[in-house]
Chains A and B, each alone.
Chain A
Amino acid sequence: MPDGAMPVLEVRGLKTVFHTRGGSVHAVNDVSFHLMPGELLGVVGESGSGKSVTMMSLIGLLPSPPADVQSGQVLLGGQDLLKATPEELRKVRGARIGFVFQDPMTSLNPVFTVGSQIMAPLRKHMGLSKAQAEARAVELLELVGIPDARRRLKSYPHQFSGGMRQRVMIAIALACDPEVLIADEPTTALDVTIQAQILELVKELRQKLGMAIVWITHDLGVVAEIADRVMVMYGGQVVEQAPVKELFRNPRHPYTRALLKTIPKLGGQRGERLQVIEGQPPILGFPPTACPFRARCAHAFARCEAENPARRPVDGLPLSQGHDVACHWSPEGAEDPSQEAAHA
């Protein structure tokens, strides 16, 4: 990635709150990240950490009410999507940002043919005629590896297997050649061999098309395999962000460290217990005033209760290559809180 290149997508200080009958849920708190052209950003974090809500906030996909994207900026090529009119947003959705969702079994409309579902965005955004859209749809299905594409256009979603449906979803998301593809756990609902195939497909498509990708997953193994950079989320916040090798080599946040320990190691001792992270995920009923991870953190000290840690650079490298963490503690023998306090 060339130095000084502009990010395709830059998110600053994003905050999303759900106003529900049971009170507010502060699902996304001050999330900032960027995405360079052609880059693959892996987003990891346990269930409920705000990964999906963050990504859906970007392009206004959350139902409002209850969702309320309170503040922040989402810059796509200089345009702030949070200030865009609904009409402008629709021109971005599907055309410049493609979305692939977790469950391919339910993400396609059961009563329309696969062809018509691929052709809809093509006709809408690119103004193609029916014949042109059809030709492009065949091309897309071939691109995502669906054999006998022309005939399959007339099939309905239920006539496809789960893996094939996810391929169709990817074809739809890529239909208008978006600059950014957001894939929200695209392989979680698939079985392992199909997961591997979809991963291969995405790697291949990335080579061919060169779009930037945000890949949400629970699976650090997947991240290690395909991501350039990783963003770790916890309790609606970004707790650590680093290039993938750096993150695996030098995890700084106690949550990231715990997460890395939960990966079962190939060739590890049999009967060795898989590490789990003890405790409950945080309740997001209030805006955070303390570190969300403190209750489960082995290194927590007084300051973690008093102050929600801001993200701070670890290595002083520029934005696109740097490593940052949101934690008061640091692994370099700083387990003595007094020393840490002095350091701050």
Chain B
Amino acid sequence: MLTFTIRRLLLAIPTLLFISLVIFLLLELAPGDPMSQVPLTVPPEVKQKMREALGADQPMFFRYMLWLKQFFIIEPLHILGAITGIDLAGDAQRIISWQSRSPVADIIAQRIPQTLTVIGAAYVIGVLIALPIGIYSAYRQYSWFDQLGTFISMIGFSVPTFFTGVLLIVIFSVNLGWFPSIYDTTLKVTDWASFLKQVKQMVLPVSVLALYNAAQISRYMRSSMLDNLGQDYVRTARSVGMTERVVVLRDVLRNSMIPVVTVIALGIPTIFGGAIITEQVFKVNGLGQLLISAIHANDLPMVQTLTFIFAILIVLFNLIADVLYGILDPRIRYD
């Protein structure tokens, strides 16, 4: 397993390099100029100087190498430096956002907490709701509970989040006034009252996303349970006198979790990238919103960096899913 993991990690390097090149080239070939946001009153010579400072006048290959170096060496050093308080990176050129002129990494670092609390909480809650629903629906297939579950997950699955989001806003904040419709990112949790406020403003966006996630994962859980409930080993477990509880929650669940855990792991990267719409609807200024605004403003370094981070997360969680699969299923041995 260890050798497998190491081999996969090594293999991830060329994969990621290739992805980085594709991302870089795609965005490079798209029209756009770092100076497009600079006021027209700035004289051309100054603009030229600014371009040079950003390295934008160099040949494409150099810029690619520079970006790689910045991404993999300089920015990590900065982050390390910020954590340890030691200046490790010196004054090497960082990846600078064209839009805000500050380092891309700093902006991302500001946005991550919002995304993680809202979208992450929604994912965790979605999974926690989905698993018991999926298990019970399968065990009582075609019962009213199962039918209801099927109906709700069909809705959760097929109705887009911008619709459910707006619907919830109309019902719960406009009409009932229970929850705010806009997520206030400046809110700091310092005491009980502000904590309650934070919970309140999280309710709507988290519900929207949790419904969506739960719909998907409960379906996986249900069908995986159904697959396994029909297996011969279930009959064997019953034939030696195991209680239904043990049969379902130990024998069947342990087998059913194998594909579901994989699906859950593969879904984690979408926490970072996939909630763009919900973040827009509720004005959560997380990573998704950051990406959208960067695209609008033609902020190439920001878009490149974010896209590449998403790519890394996807590759990473693919690897994690594979490793988990090997851990959960004794039939799979990777070496």
Binding site for B on A (CB under 8 A): 59, 61, 90-95, 98-99, 101, 103, 106-112, 120-121, 124-125, 156, 158, 169, 172-173, 175
Q: Can you identify 22 A-B contacts, CB atoms within 8 angstroms? A: A59-B239, A61-B238, A90-B241, A91-B241, A93-B240, A93-B241, A94-B241, A94-B242, A99-B239, A101-B236, A106-B231, A106-B233, A107-B232, A107-B233, A109-B233, A109-B237, A109-B251, A110-B255, A111-B328, A120-B242, A158-B331, A175-B240
CB proximity to A under 8 Å, residues B276-335: 328-331
Question: In this assembly, does B235 line the interface, its C-beta being within 8 Å of a C-beta of chain A?
Answer: yes
Which residues does chain B contribute within 8 Å of A111, judged by CB atoms? Answer: 254-255, 258, 328-330
Which one of A103, A125, A156 contacts B330 once the chains associate, using CB atoms below 8 Å?
A: A156
**Roughly how many angstroms separate A175 CA and B241 CA in the complex, as a whole number?**
12
CB–CB B330/A158 < 8 A: yes
Whole-angstrom distance from the CB of B257 to the nearest CB of chain A?
Answer: 9
B-side contacts of A91, CB under 8 Å:
241
- Say whether B243 faces chain A, with CB atoms less than 8 Å apart: yes
CB neighbours (8 Å) of A101 from chain B are: 232, 235-236, 239
- Chain B residues whose C-beta falls within 8 Å of the C-beta of A121 in the assembled complex: 240-242
Interface string of B167-205 (1 = CB under 8 A from A): 000000000000000000000000000000000000000
> How far apart are B256's CB and chain A's nearest CB, in angstroms?
10
Minimal beta-carbon separation of A35 from chain B (angstroms): 17
Q: Which 6 residue pairs of A and B lie closest in terms of their CB atoms, listed nearest first? A: A94-B240, A94-B241, A99-B239, A93-B241, A106-B232, A121-B240
The smallest beta-carbon distance between B250 and chain A, in angstroms, is 9
Note all chain A residues with C-beta closer than 8 A to B243: 90
- Of chain B, the residue at the smallest CB distance from A104 is B232
- A108 proximity list for chain B (CB < 8 A): 233, 236
Q: Is the interface of B mostly helix, strand, loop or mixed?
A: helix
Which residues of A are found within 8 Å of B239, using beta-carbon distances? Answer: 59, 61, 93-94, 98-99, 101, 173
Q: By CB atoms of chain B within 10 A, which of A61, A94, A172 has the most?
A: A94
Distance of A186 Cα from B269 Cα, bound (Å): 48
Which positions in B face A, CB cutoff 8 Å?
Answer: 231-233, 235-243, 251, 254-255, 258, 328-331
User: In the complex, what distance in Å separates the CA atom of A111 from the CA atom of B234?
Assistant: 12
Q: How far is the CA of A103 from the CA of B238 in the complex (A)?
A: 16
A112–B329 Cα gap in the complex (Å)? 9
Which residues of the other chain, B, contact A112 by a CB distance below 8 angstroms?
A: 251, 254
| Contact A110 B241, CB 8 Å, known A61-B235, A169-B236 | no
CB closest residue in chain A, given B239: A99
Residues of B within 8 A of A109 (CB): 233, 236-237, 251, 254-255
Cα-based distance from A112 to B237 in the complex (angstroms): 12
A91 and B243 CA atoms in complex are apart in Å by 10
- B236 touching A172 by the CB < 8 A rule? yes
- B13 to chain A minimum Cβ distance, whole angstroms, is 33
Q: A92 CA to B237 CA in the complex, in Å?
A: 13
15 extra interface residue pairs, beta carbon distance < 8 Å, beyond A111-B330, A173-B240: A90-B242, A93-B241, A94-B242, A99-B240, A101-B236, A101-B239, A108-B233, A108-B236, A110-B255, A111-B254, A112-B251, A124-B242, A156-B330, A172-B236, A175-B240
User: In whole angstroms, how far apart are the Cα atoms of A186 and B97 in the complex?
Assistant: 71
Inter-chain contact A110/B331, CB cutoff 8 Å = yes
A-chain residues with CB within 8 Å of residue B241 when the two chains form the complex = 90-95, 121, 124-125
Q: Given the complex, which residues of B lie within 8 Å of A103, measured CB to CB?
A: 232
In the complex the two chains form, what is the Cα distance from A95 to B233 in whole Å? Answer: 18
- The minimal Cβ–Cβ distance linking A87 to chain B, given in whole angstroms, is 8
Which residues from chain A contact B232 at a C-beta distance below 8 Å? 101, 103, 106-107
Using A109-B255, A111-B254 as known contacts, say yes or no to A120 and B236 having CB atoms under 8 A apart. Answer: no
Question: Which of B233, B241, B242, B254 is most buried by chain A, counting CB atoms within 10 A of its CB?
Answer: B241
B328 touches A107 (CB 8 A): no
A99 CB contacts on chain B under 8 angstroms: 236, 239-240
Q: How far is the CA of A99 from the CA of B242 in the complex (A)?
A: 13
State whether A93 touches B255 (Cβ < 8 A): no
Q: How far is the CB of B254 from chain A (nearest CB, A)?
A: 5
Closest-CB distance, A249 to chain B (whole angstroms): 36
A23 to chain B, nearest CB (A): 18
Closest residue of B by beta carbon distance from A95: B241
Tell me the bound Cα distance from A234 to B328 in angstroms. Answer: 45
Q: How far is the CB of B253 from chain A (nearest CB, A)?
A: 10
Using Cβ atoms and an 8 Å threshold, which residues of chain B touch A120?
A: 237, 240, 242
Which B residues are in CB contact (< 8 Å) with A59?
239
A156→B232 CA distance, assembly (Å): 16
CA distance A261 to B104 in the complex (A): 85
Q: How far is the CA of A220 from the CA of B313 in the complex (A)?
A: 62
Kindly state the separation between the CA atoms of A197 and B115 in the bound complex, as whole angstroms: 63
Closest B residue to A118 by beta carbon equals B240
Give Cα A110–Cα B332 distance, bound, in whole angstroms: 11
